[in-house]
């Protein structure tokens, strides 16, 4: 909603907006005055904010808010006139007043329980003014108001008032960004079109040269006048077309440059609309750390560097919980008590620094403290005691490897459980958030000098740098931030260990799996050359995904998929290429989970170089469809042991989806299954023009003549009962239908 549309809001809604705007200024000013009571500019800003809120509350008719704001204004005026010097005893109740105003704005002052809170606040502030902030501890209600909403906090001075602020819904911004992205893609289409016209221009030039050659290489006898005139006219027209094309091409190239530049600027402005200053997302942090420090008996100061750094709105929203955990950990685990700091030769007040900046095309956020640091020997013992690794291995871990254990779920170094720490919740939240936005996090520490967490995040979630690959003839995009390595491997580098194929990458054994099997994208290309492998994951969950080939890096505008599709397995979003063709963005975490499921179920296919067997023969593929895990695995293992490439489906619907998305030489199916039975599956297969030639075998416990007749009438090529099933029966039937496993 724009500033011109405020007339549509109620007076109460306007008051709430005013509280949202002034509360950050009050909090920022009070925290500044806590450090420098003589800061006249901060006193003036706080007095004006309180005065404005008093007037607004009076107009709306919220008497409780009027009392609170008036009491705060009186305190600020007394400080301005020199009748009062603000101390700790004043700042605490004043901050409580900010909380109370925010709460009253939300409840409209109608909550009967608010009256005692307002009275307690006014009395506590009056008492603090009478005793000059050095009297007895303030009564209940002086601190953050009980039951009040969290403070609407602040960090930096107000922005230039000349900047007009408008309110726009997130959906409108997303639509605007989507249209700007489409405009950018459409503008890129002009370049290949201009290149095609340039090729046409060259062809026309060659045509003129050919006409000249015809004239020069003709017979020695003069051509007839009509033929010579016709040839001259053709040449004249071709030259005229060439000139017109050249002029049009120049105009098109000029338009293409202008259109591309305009589209890029439009897109950049649309992206900028999604950006908010870093300060907007960390408003609560100084107040939170200050109050928490007081409750722990610690003195701490939070320095925010790069408060105006622009950050994507979605990234900023997700940063709240992770940064809160890191700051609380820094205070609780890192910053020492004043006595301990003095004994170590440090200032009594600890320093926590929160920094945001743009670097190398990414957002760098750093949380550091000057506390005691992380005791690596304690961490090493904790890793062993929690059975995360053996003593011998732990002793050989580097500092960086050891610190990675801090991000494991449930891991904590605290030997006591408090409201702040000791529950093993925190750093894994940081890791999860970073992974969700395709970022990374690193930690470093120095004994006695502090700890440093560095988060590297994308500048925006609407644009992502990707590695484009070919899988089964279709392009897919892998986010670069989630790729460990991309490399080419010779087939001879593939080793088999316990039935699984591995490669050695930087001294680590990495399990191989084809992206084709995960995405059900057919067979890998049978080129017989090097394998194109993308290494993804972390720690023990690292895998090499084999793709057909690399297509290069691309910067893609992320397009959300239609919500009616739900969550698509292994896919996170879509995007458009320069030519307007669609491409799917891979969900790396989801794909890793898919690999783990294949391994756990024993369904992982062998990765053959180029999709062929070791002797150069292609393996035939069989799809086994059965809702019984035992029967399904028995059939799969039996066929796989004899060389067939076997995939499985858990019911008829799953089988129908599988046969439509991948090529199979044979279908083996049960009859009685949920969602879709085997008879219906066979019927659909035999009615499909692309599938009807595929042999189908029914494996069922039903051995009556009627059941056999129904199966064969549906189109099954062979009917086998499970009651008489044995190894050779199934294998012989498969050989009879499609031949031996190797083509």
Q: Lowest-confidence range among 47-51, 220-224, 427-431?
A: 220-224
The pLDDT value given to residue 214: 66
Token pair 């009879």 is found at: 736
Is the pLDDT score of 417 beyond 90?
A: no
566 pLDDT band, cuts 50/70/90, is confident
Which of 24-33, 209-218, 711-720 comes out lowest in average pLDDT? 209-218
Written as six digits, the tokens of 532 are 């194109």
- Of the two residues 458 and 177, the one the predictor is more confident about is 458
pLDDT value, residue 468: 92
Q: Which of 204-218, 254-268, 424-438 has the lowest mean pLDDT?
A: 204-218
- Model confidence at 341, pLDDT cuts 50, 70, 90, reads very high
Count of Cβ atoms closer than 10 Å to residue 446 Cβ: 12
- The pLDDT tens digits of the residues spanning 670-691 come to 888 888 888 889 999 988 888 8
- The SS3 of residue 721 is strand
For residue 252, the model assigns a pLDDT of: 75
Measured in degrees and rounded to the nearest 5, phi and psi for residue 603 equal: -100, 5
pLDDT at 140 over 50: no
pLDDT for residue 351 is more than 60: yes
pLDDT tens-digit readout, 172-196: 777 777 777 777 767 766 776 777 7
Mean pLDDT (whole number) for 468-477? 90
Range with top average pLDDT, 149-163, 234-248, 269-283, 418-432? 269-283
Residue 158, pLDDT score: 39
Q: Is the pLDDT of residue 719 over 90?
A: no
Name the phi and psi angles at 261, rounded to 5.
-65, -45
Residue 497 confidence (pLDDT)? 62
- Whether 65 has a pLDDT exceeding 50, the answer reads yes
Residue 218 has pLDDT above 70, yes or no: no
**Residue 361: per-residue pLDDT:** 75
> What does the pLDDT average to over 619-644?
83
pLDDT attached to residue 303:
92
Q: For the chain, give the mean pLDDT.
A: 79
Do 409 and 435 meet the contact criterion of CB atoms below 8 Å apart? Answer: no
Pairing status of strand 440-446 against strand 450-458: antiparallel
Q: Does the pLDDT value for residue 739 go beyond 60?
A: yes
Asked if the model's pLDDT at residue 702 lies above 50, the reply is yes
The yes-or-no verdict on residue 52 having pLDDT over 50 is yes
Burial of 615 (0-12, 13-18, 19+ CB in 10 A): exposed
Q: What is the pLDDT of residue 215?
A: 64
Average pLDDT for 661-678: 85
- Kindly state the average pLDDT of the residues 463-473: 87
The CA distances from residue 570 to 45, 433, 544, 610, in Å, are 53, 18, 16, 23
- Residue 390 vs residue 668, higher pLDDT: 668
Chain center to CA of 453:
19
Q: Given this model, what pLDDT does residue 159 score?
A: 42
Does residue 661 or residue 79 have the better pLDDT?
Answer: 79
pLDDT band at 365 (very low <50, low <70, confident <90, very high): very high
Give the confidence band of 157 by pLDDT, cuts at 50, 70, 90. Answer: very low
Q: What is the pLDDT at residue 2? A: 43
- CA–centroid distance for 21 within its chain: 31
Q: Give the residue, 69 or 387, on which the prediction is more confident.
A: 69
> 420 is written with which tokens?
């702040």
Q: Which residues contact 689 (CB under 8 A, 6 or more apart)?
A: none
Check whether 423 has a pLDDT greater than 60: no
The pair of three-digit structure tokens given for residue 424, joined into one six-digit string: 């093993």
Q: How confident is the model at residue 527 (pLDDT cuts 50, 70, 90)?
A: low
The whole-number average pLDDT for the span 721-725 is 65
Residue 164 has pLDDT above 60, yes or no: no
Tell me: pLDDT of 1 over 50: no
Whole-prediction pTM? 0.58
Of all residues in the chain, the percent with pLDDT exceeding 70 is: 83
- Minimal CA–CA distance to 527: which of 491, 475, 499? 491
Least confident of 518-527, 552-561, 582-591, 607-616: 607-616
Is the pLDDT assigned to residue 598 strictly greater than 50?
yes
Neighbours of 616 (CB within 10 A): 10
Give the three-class secondary structure for 464: strand
Identify the pLDDT of residue 613. 47
CA separation for the pair 50, 70 (Å, rounded): 7
**Tell me, what's the pLDDT at 167?**
66
Q: To which residue do tokens 């009256």 refer?
A: 115
619 close to 739: Cβ distance less than 8 angstroms: no
What is the structure's pLDDT at 336?
A: 92
């Amino acid at each position: 909603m724009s500033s011109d549309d405020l007339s549509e809001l109620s007076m109460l809604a306007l008051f709430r907006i005013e509280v949202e705007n002034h509360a950050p200024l009050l909090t920022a000013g009070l925290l500044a005055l806590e450090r420098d009571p003589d800061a006249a500019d901060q006193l003036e800003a706080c007095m004006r904010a309180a005065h404005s809120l008093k007037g607004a509350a009076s107009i709306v008719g919220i008497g409780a808010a009027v009392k609170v704001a008036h009491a705060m204004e009186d305190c600020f005026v007394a400080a301005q006139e020199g009748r009062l010097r603000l101390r700790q005893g004043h700042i605490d109740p004043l901050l409580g007043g900010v909380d109370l105003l925010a709460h009253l704005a939300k409840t409209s002052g109608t909550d009967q329980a608010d009256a005692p809170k307002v009275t307690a606040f006014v009395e506590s502030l009056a008492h603090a003014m009478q005793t000059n902030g050095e009297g007895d501890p303030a009564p209940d209600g002086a601190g953050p108001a009980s039951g009040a909403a969290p403070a609407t906090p602040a960090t930096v001075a107000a922005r230039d008032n000349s900047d007009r602020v408008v309110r726009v819904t997130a959906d409108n911004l997303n639509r605007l960004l989507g249209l700007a992205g489409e405009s950018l893609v459409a503008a890129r289409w002009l370049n290949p079109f201009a290149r095609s016209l340039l090729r046409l221009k060259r062809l026309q030039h060659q045509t003129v040269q050919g006409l000249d050659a015809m004239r020069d290489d003709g017979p020695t006898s003069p051509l007839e006048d009509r033929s010579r005139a016709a040839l001259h006219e053709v040449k004249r027209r071709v030259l005229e077309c060439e000139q017109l094309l050249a002029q049009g091409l120049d105009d098109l190239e000029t338009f293409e440059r202008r259109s591309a530049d305009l589209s890029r600027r439009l897109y950049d402005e649309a992206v900028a609309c999604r950006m908010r200053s870093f300060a907007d997302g960390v408003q609560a942090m100084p107040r939170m750390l200050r109050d928490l420090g007081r409750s722990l008996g610690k003195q701490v100061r939070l320095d925010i560097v790069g408060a105006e750094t622009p950050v994507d709105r979605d990234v900023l929203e997700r940063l709240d919980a992770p940064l809160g955990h890191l700051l609380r950990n820094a205070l609780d685990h890192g910053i020492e008590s004043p006595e301990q700091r003095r004994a170590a030769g440090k200032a009594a007040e600890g320093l926590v620094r929160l920094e945001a900046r743009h670097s190398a095309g990414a957002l760098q956020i750093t949380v550091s403290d000057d506390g005691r640091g992380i005791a690596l020997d304690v961490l090493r013992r904790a890793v062993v005691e929690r059975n995360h690794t053996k003593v011998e291995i732990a002793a050989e871990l580097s500092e960086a490897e050891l610190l990675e254990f801090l991000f494991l779920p449930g891991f904590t170094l605290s030997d006591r459980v408090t409201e702040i720490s000791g529950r093993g919740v925190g750093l894994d939240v940081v890791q999860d958030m970073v992974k969700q936005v395709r970022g990374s996090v690193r930690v470093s520490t120095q004994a006695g000098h502090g700890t440093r967490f560095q988060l590297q995040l994308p500048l925006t979630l609407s644009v992502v740098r990707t590695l484009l690959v070919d899988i089964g003839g279709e392009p897919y995009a892998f986010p670069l931030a989630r790729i460990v390595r991309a490399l080419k491997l010779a087939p001879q580098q593939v080793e088999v260990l316990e039935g699984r194929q591995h490669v050695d990458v930087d001294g680590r054994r990495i399990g191989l799996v084809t992206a084709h099997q995960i995405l059900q994208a057919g067979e890998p290309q049978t080129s017989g050359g090097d394998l194109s492998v993308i290494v993804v994951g972390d720690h023990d969950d690292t895998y090499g995904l084999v793709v057909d080939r690399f297509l290069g890096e691309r910067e893609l505008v992320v397009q959300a998929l239609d919500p009616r599709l739900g969550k698509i397995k292994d896919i996170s979003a879509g995007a458009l290429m320069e030519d307007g063709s669609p491409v799917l963005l891979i969900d790396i975490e989801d794909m890793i989970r898919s690999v783990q499921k294949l391994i756990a179920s024993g369904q992982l296919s062998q990765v053959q170089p180029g999709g062929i067997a070791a002797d150069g023969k292609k393996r035939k593929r069989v799809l086994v469809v059965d809702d019984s895990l035992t029967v399904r695995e028995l059939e799969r293992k039996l066929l796989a042991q004899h060389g067939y490439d076997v995939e499985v489906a858990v019911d008829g619907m799953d089988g129908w989806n599988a046969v439509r998305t991948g090529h199979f030489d044979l279908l083996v199916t049960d009859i009685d299954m949920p969602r879709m039975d085997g008879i219906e599956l066979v019927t659909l297969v035999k009615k499909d023009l692309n599938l009807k030639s595929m042999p189908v075998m029914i494996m069922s416990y039903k051995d009556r003549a009627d059941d056999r007749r129904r199966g064969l009438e549906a189109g099954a090529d062979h009917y086998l009962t499970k009651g008489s099933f044995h190894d050779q029966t199934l294998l012989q039937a498969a050989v009879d239908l499609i031949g031996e496993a190797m083509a």
